[in-house]
A and B are shown apart, each in its own frame.
Chain A
Amino acid sequence: MSAYGKYVVKKFFWYFVTLIVAIALNFLLPRMIEGNPVSVIVAQMTQGMTESDTIKRVYDTFAAEFGIDQPLHVQFFIYVKNLLTGNWGTSFGLYPKPVTEILASAIPWTIGLQLPAILVGWIIGNVLGAVAAYRKGVFDKVIFPVALFVNSIPFFTLAIIMLYAFALTLKWFPMHGGYDYQMIPSLSWEFIGSVLRHHTLPFLSIVLVTIGGQAIGMREMSIYELNSDYVLYSKLLGIRDSRIARYVFRNAMLPQITGLALSIGTMVGGSLICEIVFSYPGIGTWMFTAIRQLDYPLISGCTLLIALAVLLANFTIDLIYGWIDPRIKAAQMEDQ
């Protein structure tokens, strides 16, 4: 097998183990609630209900879903089987809507918001960081402190400030939601325009904060690379500065890719809270609602989905990284 193939298999194995741990946590932690979780949940859910038949029916639904009478490992197998067959439980808040249906409606919004925002922020941040390191002087004196400040603003703080400034005071952008709720979703220009207008502020707040963190990391990596021996050697052989800058940029970029993989979890978390501020119809806002209503199946559906998405993103980044960094291939060959 090729060195890269080995790398992929090894990574896949580790992500598979991680996935199982994530699923197990998702299964175990909510079951730490003292007593019978189903009665706790049902009691909370059926508050004010008097009809014992309804209560019984609700109880039976959840007892079956949890496999409550079975030993823990059997419950776990039931849980995994349910997950695999697409049965992620029934929402309390929107009973009897399945959790998967709610998540499916939210996923496009979250992905449409976060994926472009994180990527754009990452790219701009890296370019700015490299420029600050390479040009030094004024660039560095301006970009670095600004990036440092922006980086320390939490996603949701920036979101709230933007909401207040641009939506509430200046009224440039709408305050709530993913589109104008008076419209019927369709592929019309009007609807797309509305989606874009609702998209702008949350998008910008994620982009800005991401830029800050990435620019700092890239600046540091570039300075490190600029001081390395190969830069001096290339200079002494008469290679022009712009070409050396390209070497440096590429080499500083590689650790930034792993950096992205490692920070993507935190970024996704921050962005989800950003959604709440704008009541954006994604996973974050649903989770907010679910927590307020103590809608356990939906909460655990959200957390599982987030964990899966982050694992998948990490795995993808690792594969890309292994593909473009020759050092990984060489390291694999040394192992043999």
Chain B
Amino acid sequence: MTLGKEQLRSRVSGREISYIPQAAMNALNPTLRIIRFIEDIMKEHRPELSRKQVWELAVERFETLNLSARVLESYPNELSGGMKQRTVIAISTILNPKVLIADEPTSALDVTSQKAVIKLLKHLLEKGYIQSLVFITHELPLLYHVTDDIMVMYAGEIVERGTAEQMIFDPIHPYTKKLMGSIIVPEEGMRGHKLAAIPGTPPNLKTVPEGCRFADRCTYAQSECRQGRIELQTFQDRSYRCIVPADTLREWYAHEDE
């Protein structure tokens, strides 16, 4: 299905696909009360609602999400960082979008606020206000608790995809392996545990090297890795981008961990 720009705006943006930006601090117009902004959104997507109905709807939604109705009458800068982020989430999902894209929604928050945001997102999914959630982050332990599937990207490419469980405990791609090896959590046995480190830096995307984009930093790189295009392989119910068979990689990892 192809849509024009105007159709995309009126039919998709906000009501089918919605978005939570990384910096909630600046995502809200500083001179508009929250409720005025919600009214403006409704004017675009639900023009049949009166102001009173919009108010009632907003209060109801905010209260189910444990946000006070007073927030609606506030200006953005009267809210704290965590509160602002939750308000943004409530606004983004007020039209019950099918897909919600959350771009690092917790990276600027304290752990307590982070937890509140995660709870809120889970709540939205449980209540069916949103059907799918795309969660973009570099916080792996967080993903593990929020999402069903994890997709790892490196230098502009998907390098591996699988369920959260598989990705955290049984990574296949060498990059994913290293990434998972760098997780730090306050759990017994963490101290003295050797963290994985990746030497070097990611390639400049303006001059992408031939072959595997990770080859330069990979401990297992062979000369074949630097030739042609490496395609995504399917292995059981998951996929990864590496020329080495999954079982071989697992064997190597097992040796390394000894």
CA distance A235 to B14 in the complex (A): 9
B75 CB within 8 Å of chain A: yes
Q: List 8 A-B contacts (CB under 8 A).
A: A232-B21, A237-B44, A237-B91, A238-B41, A239-B44, A247-B29, A327-B31, A330-B78
Given A229-B26, A233-B27, A240-B44 contact (CB < 8 Å): yes
Q: Is there an interface contact between B19 and A330, defined as CB atoms closer than 8 Å?
A: no
- CB within 8 Å of B: which of A105-162? none
A33 CB within 8 Å of chain B: no
Residues on B with C-beta less than 8 A from A326 are: 30-31, 33, 75, 77
Which A residues fall within an 8 A CB radius of B?
228-230, 232-240, 243, 247, 250-251, 254, 325-327, 330, 333
Q: Is there an interface contact between B31 and A237, defined as CB atoms closer than 8 Å?
A: no
Given A229-B26, A232-B21, A247-B78 contact (CB < 8 Å): no
Residues on A with C-beta less than 8 A from B176 are: none
Residues on B with C-beta less than 8 A from A247 are: 29, 31-32
CA distance A239 to B12 in the complex (A): 11
Partner of A237, one of B23, B26, B33, B41: B41
Residues on A with C-beta less than 8 A from B45 are: 238
CA distance A236 to B12 in the complex (A): 9
Partner of B15, one of A230, A235, A238, A254: A238
Q: Which of A232, A235, A238, A326 has the most CB of B within 10 A?
A: A238
CA distance A243 to B40 in the complex (A): 8
CA distance A239 to B95 in the complex (A): 13
Q: Is there an interface contact between B13 and A251, defined as CB atoms closer than 8 Å?
A: no
Q: Is there an interface contact between B29 and A327, defined as CB atoms closer than 8 Å?
A: no
Interface size on B, residues (CB 8 A): 30
B92 CB within 8 Å of chain A: yes
- CB within 8 Å of A: which of B17-54? 18-19, 21, 23, 26-33, 37, 40-41, 43-45
Given A229-B21, A251-B29, A251-B30, A239-B41 contact (CB < 8 Å): yes
B119 CB within 8 Å of chain A: no
Q: Is there an interface contact between B77 and A330, defined as CB atoms closer than 8 Å?
A: yes
CA distance A229 to B76 in the complex (A): 13
Residues on A with C-beta less than 8 A from B40 are: 234, 239, 243
B9 CB within 8 Å of chain A: yes
CA distance A238 to B13 in the complex (A): 5
B222 CB within 8 Å of chain A: no
Q: In angstroms, how far is the closest chain A Cβ from the Cβ of B131?
A: 18
Q: Is there an interface contact between A233 and B19, defined as CB atoms closer than 8 Å?
A: yes
Q: Which of A229, A243, A251 has the most CB of B within 10 A?
A: A229
Given A233-B19, A237-B18, A254-B26 contact (CB < 8 Å): no
Residues on A with C-beta less than 8 A from B234 are: none
Q: Which of A236, A237, A247, A325 has the most CB of B within 10 A?
A: A237
